[in-house]
């Protein structure tokens, strides 16, 4: 999508506003490159932390409590991470199991609780 916009801006650069149009095209290309770098770094971090993409697999046990996050988590601050269960139809938040969660993209098993030292 952005490629078409850049192409159109550059095709009109012969007009009176050519510097402004070229600067806009440069800014779009630069922003897209930065977004790709951030996205790749995010994916690497997610993989490193043992997050499992829901496109790869879902929890083995129905109603097993797991940690989930949505596609916005960690990128732009609009996402969330919470404890949820997959009931075979969708992701339910754990607290009351009444609200379905949208856009869940990753999950991971809950860590083991701390053990008291004796």
Q: What is the mean pLDDT of each run of 10 residues along the chain (118 residues)?
A: 75 66 78 71 63 91 88 62 89 78 87 80
Task: Report the alpha-carbon distance of residue 107 to residue 61 in Å, rounded.
Answer: 13
Could you tell me how many helices (H) and strands (E) the chain has, helices first? 2, 6
What is the per-residue pLDDT for 54?
92
Q: How far is CA 77 from CA 17, 30, 98, in A?
A: 36, 21, 25
H-only helix segments in the chain: 2-11, 18-48
In sequence order, what are the residues at sequence separation of 6 or more whose Cβ sits closer than 8 angstroms to the Cβ of residue 6? 25, 28, 29
68 by Cβ neighbours in 10 Å (0-12 / 13-18 / 19+) ranks as buried
CB–CB of 70/105 below 8 Å? yes
96, two tokens: 């009351």
What is the per-residue pLDDT for 20?
77
């Amino acid at each position: 999508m952005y490629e078409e916009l850049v192409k159109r801006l550059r095709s009109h650069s012969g007009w009176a506003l050519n510097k402004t149009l070229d600067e806009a095209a440069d800014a779009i290309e630069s922003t897209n490159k930065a977004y790709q770098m951030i996205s790749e770094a995010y994916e690497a971090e997610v993989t490193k932390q043992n997050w499992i993409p829901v496109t790869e697999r879902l929890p083995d046990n129905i109603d097993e409590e797991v940690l989930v996050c949505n596609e916005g988590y960690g990128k732009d601050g609009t996402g969330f991470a919470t404890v949820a269960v997959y009931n075979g139809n969708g992701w339910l938040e754990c607290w009351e199991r009444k609200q379905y969660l949208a856009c869940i993209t990753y999950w991971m098993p809950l860590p083991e609780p701390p053990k008291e030292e004796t």
